[in-house]
Structure 1
């Protein structure tokens, strides 16, 4: 039984998953999936089952606060969810985290449609014969699926299939692209009367605007550089600080870095929010798009002063919760049945196990008015809550493994060898893996979370007290085997 996630003494996973509360360690673009816009057909071969036909091509996304993205799918067996929200993440937080061919996928993106939009030139280089936008997109998608999923897949159109073969054989390894915008150390803490930080800016943009939170002025907090000079703009490598005046009442505030930029080709986007389990996407093209990242600060005059962050850890199958205590008293909290104590000046990361496709909710309260915690206010500011879905592996929807009902409308079984291409049309999301069963799936999953959580309590009993803690859519999983396993070789690229 897959373990449920325990947090703050309670079983997590109640209700639909939402975006992580507070700042994302990744930052960058947040977008909504509009659908499959430029496509043709592909066939996925399955051992012991009918071959399945699916749409293959370019998705379009609308970026929050402005901009448009073009993306390809990385997960042929996982349906796309209409209007699903996505967050830009590094490869380590996606299904590419252990894929030795991730760099080759980026090469394909750089050397095919739409980055190469001269279709006559692309057809000549690949010796395919005439290409249309739909067949060029389908051939590119098929080549990507062969590396991302290890899928036995072919394009229906002969020219698209030749393009896929050419791209697969020509692909070379490339490094992971840098984030459009991210902040290192997105949560800081310390005593009043000093500068808290640094928060380091990482961006592909020329510069970013820096805006303090709405509550900063009331506390007298300013955003400055290391020397205390006010900061309103920053660039890659800039270090930002929260300058908290002496005697300020214990509290929290934030800053937001934002820019309009072209997001680098090859960045991955994973689902977040109520439709978090949606096909992982990889960026193929970007207009000027709005990207942002947020950092928070907490201060007090005594006691524990924690800074809390969480990040998906695909390599270890869980969520890394990092606690840094810049106060003069211990910070105590509980995850599941394990008590932790973070000493003054200590930083500790605890990896909380989460099953693949599992929703999680991690709540870490900061006590109010206790001898070891100080007065940090109440409500959301009294702690941190991190929620989401762990989506790290390609090749399965989770339906078979979690006992969920199969998702329908994700594929079309082939009958009598129908290889007719549909170049002239644009398949809607129902044809390309859109699922309307999300509420049912979530409801069934919650029952499993509870049972899994109870199992975890029994088998993961640990001694309490000061523990050193540790496209386009495609065929659905019930009728498709998992993708062939890949050699256990470390990824050749990183953030």
Structure 2
């Protein structure tokens, strides 16, 4: 059984992107963990965000039809409809596109993402997209009922219902002048667009508060708070935690292997434990709420969830402990409102923690102190850095493909839906969003050597849409 969700803002952008050099102004928290042990394994961007990770398969057979985008004195014929994604660990997602001019990359990986990390962040109509998802196909499987609600006297099939739904979404997500070629699909799109009301962003399928903790050996470190719509979440400690004798416990100090929504978890570190780091993986099976956004680090067009089967969802918490010195906990989160990456450093040690960039100290976190600093990253730029032994990487993709750029000059193929679907093999998927054959633009890397942690910060240009 599938469940529903919604989408973002009315902004358009052409598929042709000329990425600019990254402005490296602002503060970055970085440095060494005094007395800490081996580095934590690579950490996903937006640590603790959690949720589903999936691979896009293309448009769902029988669930799309044709539409026409009007703009810049020409019309582009595209396919419009439902995508299908396979969830890592099991499960299936069905999504609509919320980035009409950006291409879909072949078998791109997607992560469940809060609206704040996508173009929906600044879209005042994001809630209306969610309303459309909840009141149309596939959430409404009775197509006769859907047709009647829209005032359509003829029959709707899955393809026409999906096309009409996608067209209505594009009008809010991209501000696009787009219409379905079939009159019944267009009538559905008009009804959905005019009827939509703003509703709140859905909660995550699985996420953590305070997903990066630190402190002295001999203490209970935390809490890490669990938020999920699943009935039960399994809790598994890493080998590093087991080897150090660190136990995962609840508020009462009892060892736990499962948790529920609202549970608080702690790392009980023995006083004899040598300085080190470890992680905790949480996993559950649940339906991802309709309206959750899915973003890709390969610059594949952003998607919004229209339905979910029972699917595997994950989240990871990190812990660092030492006996003395500076003991920083680091977390990272995309911030589309500010145009960059928020890096939060909390120092649970008994010495000040210097934050350095390229050999220059730009901030100092006192013992027991915490600070969030913004690292500016330009749209479509990739960042890749290690702080205090933890690796973070991602792409800032906060705008729809038409923002401030012309519509693509390349002629879309009749089979394309919105942006053309491309990949390293050059094989096209059926896709939504207008097609483009934008040339590859290689970006210069900005390298920052972060003292103490021996960290290197790479900011690379993302490939332009259509590459």
Considering the TM-score relative to the shorter chain, is it more than 0.5? Answer: yes
C-alpha spacing 1:65/1:135, structure 2 compared with 1 (3 Å): same
C-alpha spacing 1:290/1:5, structure 2 compared with 1 (3 Å): farther
SS at match of 1:308: strand
Q: What's 1:316 paired with?
A: 338
**1:3 Cα offset (Å):** 2.5
2:311 to 289, 307, 320: 289
Residue pairs, 1:95-494, within 5 angstroms: 95-128=119-152, 129-272=154-297, 275=298, 277-335=299-357, 339-364=362-387, 366=388, 383-396=389-402, 410-412=412-414, 429=429, 432=432, 441=440, 444-447=441-444, 449-450=445-446
RMSD: 2.9
Q: What's 1:369 paired with?
A: none
Whole-Å separation in 1 of the counterparts to 2:50 and 2:29: 26
Whole-Å separation in 2 of the counterparts to 1:296 and 1:409: 48
SS at match of 1:39: strand
Equivalent pair of 1:79/1:410 in contact (CA under 8 Å): no
SS at match of 1:80: strand
1:78 to 88, 99, 102: 102
C-alpha deviations, 1:231-267, integer Å up to 9, x for none? Answer: 1111111000000000200000111111000110000
Equivalent pair of 1:191/1:301 in contact (CA under 8 Å): yes
Equivalent pair of 2:67/2:181 in contact (CA under 8 Å): yes
Whole-Å separation in 1 of the counterparts to 2:409 and 2:310: 35
Equivalent residue pairs, number: 406
Task: Tell me the TM-score normalised to structure 2 length.
Answer: 0.81
Query: Can you give the 5+ residue segments of structure 2 that lack an aligned partner in the other structure?
Result: 1-19, 31-41, 417-426, 449-464
More strand by share: 2
Query: Can you give the 5+ residue segments of structure 1 that lack an aligned partner in the other structure?
Result: 10-18, 367-382, 415-426, 455-475, 479-495
SS at match of 1:445: coil
Q: What's 2:116 paired with?
A: 92
More helix by share: 1
Matching of residue 24 in structure 1 with residue 68 in structure 2: no
**1:101 Cα offset (Å):** 0.9
**1:125 Cα offset (Å):** 1.1
Equivalent pair of 1:23/1:296 in contact (CA under 8 Å): no
C-alpha spacing 1:396/1:445, structure 2 compared with 1 (3 Å): farther
Task: Tell me the TM-score normalised to structure 1 length.
Answer: 0.76
**1:361 Cα offset (Å):** 1.7
C-alpha spacing 1:428/1:2, structure 2 compared with 1 (3 Å): closer
Q: What's 2:92 paired with?
A: 68
SS at match of 1:278: coil
Moved more, 333-342 or 166-175: 333-342
Whole-Å separation in 1 of the counterparts to 2:229 and 2:356: 38
